[in-house]
Structure 1
């Protein structure tokens, strides 16, 4: 214990020293030009963010010019630094700052590990049934021979193929009625959520095979998204996690449910065939034309009034993540994360770079979110699947409702990392004595 505490203190001191050195490098070698140096960098960042906003809210020539500006701004910053013979100063200062952040996180790592989801011994499984979507992720089921590998491990495989639509939840319920003691899915997050709801209702373990496109649920479970076949190792050497599930209007979600601009985009029939193109075509009207329902939402003491987009997640995303693209620290915290975005200008778009402190952003961490609108029903994207839900939509958390079977050794597993706390780091590095913690 003593050596661990001593190591923490020295890492904290190294972090503080490196951060100080980063500032000194700018001050000593750039002198008074440091202010201009920082100003150019901040200006370039703000211009880039504003240009991205214009690119999202304009069409045709205006969009092309905005994209050009978004590329030109960083180039201008680089040329300015190079012309002033300050590029090497910036590189050295940035390297020292990155070292400070890395050492600081390592210094606080023991406390971070306490945030990891607890693992339990895996239950004995005799009749696992895996539902696989051969079309997900551009054909990952076939490319990684998931069907064959699952069969080799004693699993029964049900393929989602046929002349018409298949009721995935009903297929899972039928498999359980016929004796399945584990249900699993090789597919996208939307399909995962459908079967997870059945598994949770029957108290059966659930296996996630990341064969979809994003596989965000698998990411936060620590699974390897590059090789989905590795998730099947849970059948021979696995552990069990207890994770939360979200509910939106009675519909289960494993990641998030979105309302407003993104949900309107997902509703488009063209979205499945061309996601990027459809999104770019529809966003201008949704963001600046105020088309679609006017939303209001209540999340504890926080009220969201008329947000352009509202994201409700199964456990909150990191404080700097405004789009649900990053990682969640854990999936068993028993809370929903709510993020409302209301951006009407390029200045507010640039302000989103401040993360949770941005003026166009409202966040809350609660157990219930109630979404209302000026019409009887609203579009929603539930784990990326397009639905229409009657209002008010009540979003709730089901704490530790799902038993998830995962491999004991997960290549994607890494310690959860809350935001770096410089006050705590300073106390650890400067105020600690040579004993204990």
Structure 2
């Protein structure tokens, strides 16, 4: 239905113009589409004033085409075409949502911890630890708190290990996802429950656990009325990650200082590098039985992101499927780049759900982004999944995981209509 409505939306104005006007309508419509695509591509690949002029052109051209249709007394056809286009989008979202539906992760009833130990980073998330008075509130609930404060660097892993030897029966973190991963590895090693306090900047792990990211104090409710989720952990060369590890252009984006403050804007700013051609180490990604040679970007995640999310900026429906999510991008031409970004074609895109990924390169080390932290990893880099490795303690009452917004993917819809 989505494909039929989309086709009808394009055909109706042409049919309404009659035989004589069909050619001119086709020229105007096709010309407007071409100009819009060229302007969008210029917006993605240029910098400075030219980029914003291109964006203005991309917005203005469709308006001018619509005005031309109205002056040609085809307003009714334009309205019918708009209705059909909305119907196409609605049908497409319904079809894709049905294929991506997933039940919530099962919960396990557990008693409250007796000796919880929490690590808090006062600098994380713009000072949320002090803003929400997390130290005092956690101590009132019987937790022992260690602050990552002061001029000296603290070995977070050693701090968590020492807490275990001193009798801690729960480990928790109020900080960024990188710190969460370090302590989660210790909790998984000793089979202790792990508490996520959403005091970081983006809190992607907390989001996919269904926690309240706006009020981190609600995470502390798990200390008195909590349930457990059994979730997976990813590993890269033996190091634990809770969200994702990135290579190629993705890794270069993570290394940018602006990435921490605004991930989406940073991806957009550096996207021209992807379209122009990545000039870093040549990568080879071995994803299960699939081999992808020379991708410009590779993203490996702890469970898969939504099918329309190519940069790990969205959400994961579940964290307990026992698989990795693997996305590779390979762009060989401007045409392929535009089609890939517009999701009108799948050439240059690989999306798999393996249990192991190996990334090779023509250098001994390659830059990578591990849960938003820029690191250098020795090649070959091996990523694996540890199913159900982490016992996560969450409040019984929490917002929950909202279904990800479905983006209409015409290439996937065509595959569904063609193959069922």
Q: TM-score, normalised by structure 1?
A: 0.79
Q: Following the alignment from structure 1 to structure 2, what is the Cα–Cα distance between the partners of residues 100 and 273?
A: 36
Of stretches 248-257 and 273-282 in structure 1, the one that deviates more from structure 2 is 273-282
Map of 1:319 onto structure 2: 307
How many Å apart are 1:189 and its aligned residue?
A: 1.0
**Further displaced range: 174-183 or 115-124:** 115-124
Question: Which residue number corresponds to residue 81 of structure 1?
Answer: 66
Distance in 2, Cα, partners of 1:75 & 1:348: 25
Of 54, 73, 86, the residue aligned with 1:69 is: 54
Q: Distance in 2 between matches of 1:174 and 1:103?
A: 51
Match of 2:392 among 379, 391, 404: 404
* 3-state SS, counterpart of residue 84 of structure 1: helix
Q: Which one is further off, 143-152 or 93-102?
A: 93-102
Residues 207/355 of structure 1: CA separation in 2 closer, same or farther (3 Å cut): farther
Partner SS, residue 233 of structure 2: strand
Separation in structure 1 between the aligned mates of residue 121 and residue 193 of structure 2, nearest angstrom: 20
Residue 404 of structure 1 aligns to a residue whose secondary structure is strand
Partner residue in 2 for 1:192: 180
- Superposed, 1:33-182 pairs within 5 Å as 43=34, 46-47=37-38, 49-55=40-46, 59=47, 63-85=48-70, 86=75, 88-89=79-80, 92-97=83-88, 99-100=90-91, 108=98, 112-113=101-102, 115-182=103-170
Q: Is the 8 A contact 1:52 1:67 kept in 2?
A: yes
Q: Tell me the distance in 2 between the aligned counterparts of 1:400 and 1:407.
A: 19
Give the 5 Å matches for 1:357-396: 357-396=345-384
Larger mean CA deviation between 145-154 and 311-320 belongs to 145-154
Aligned partners of 2:360 and 2:379 also within 8 Å:
yes
Q: CA RMSD in A?
A: 3.6
For residues 281 and 325 of structure 1, do their structure 2 counterparts lie closer, same or farther at Cα, with a shift above 3 Å needed?
A: closer
Task: Classify the secondary structure of the residue corresponding to 1:193.
Answer: helix
Q: Per the alignment, do residues 105 and 360 of structure 1 end up closer, same or farther by CA in structure 2, a change over 3 Å counting?
A: closer
SS in 2 for 1:405: strand
User: 1 CA distance for matches of 2:398 and 2:377?
Assistant: 37
Distance in structure 1 (CA, Å) of the matches to 2:331 and 2:15: 37
For the structure 1 residues 301 and 357, does the alpha-carbon distance in structure 2 shift closer, same or farther, using more than 3 Å as the test? Answer: farther
Distance in 2 of aligned mates of 1:41 and 1:405: 54
Cα distance 1:266–1:100, how it changes in 2: closer, same or farther (>3 A)?
Answer: closer
CA contact (8 A) 1:19 1:96 kept: no
Partner of 1:338: 326
Q: What are the equivalent positions in structure 2 for 1:231-250 lying under 5 Å apart?
A: 231-250=219-238
- What is the distance in 1 between the residues matched to 2:404 and 2:279? 39
Q: CA deviation at 1:153?
A: 2.5
Take 1:274 and 1:24, find their aligned partners in 2: how far apart are those partners? 40
Mapped to 2, the partners of 1:295 and 1:328 lie a distance apart of 26
Give CA-to-partner distance per residue, 1:174-206, whole Å, 9 cap, x none: 122212111111111111111111111111111
1:225 Cα deviation (Å)?
Answer: 1.8
User: Structure 1 residues 385 and 156, CA, compared in 2 at 3 Å: closer, same or farther?
Assistant: same
Q: CA deviation at 1:406?
A: 1.3
Contact map agreement 1:188 1:212 (CA 8 A) in 2: yes
* Cα 1:105/1:151, change in 2 over 3 Å: farther
- Which residue number corresponds to residue 201 of structure 2? 213
Distance in 1 between residues matched to 2:336 and 2:188, nearest whole Å: 41
Query: 1:47 and 1:328, CA in 2 relative to 1: closer, same or farther beyond 3 A?
Result: farther
The aligned counterpart of 1:300 is: 288
CA distance in structure 2 between the aligned counterparts of 1:21 and 1:263, rounded to whole angstroms: 40
Label 1:277 to 1:124 Cα distance change in 2 as closer, same or farther (>3 A): closer
Going from structure 1 to structure 2, the CA distance change for 1:261 and 1:244 (only over 3 Å counts) comes to: same
Q: Give CA deviations for 1:297-321 in whole Å, capped at 9, x if unaligned.
A: 2111211211111111111111111
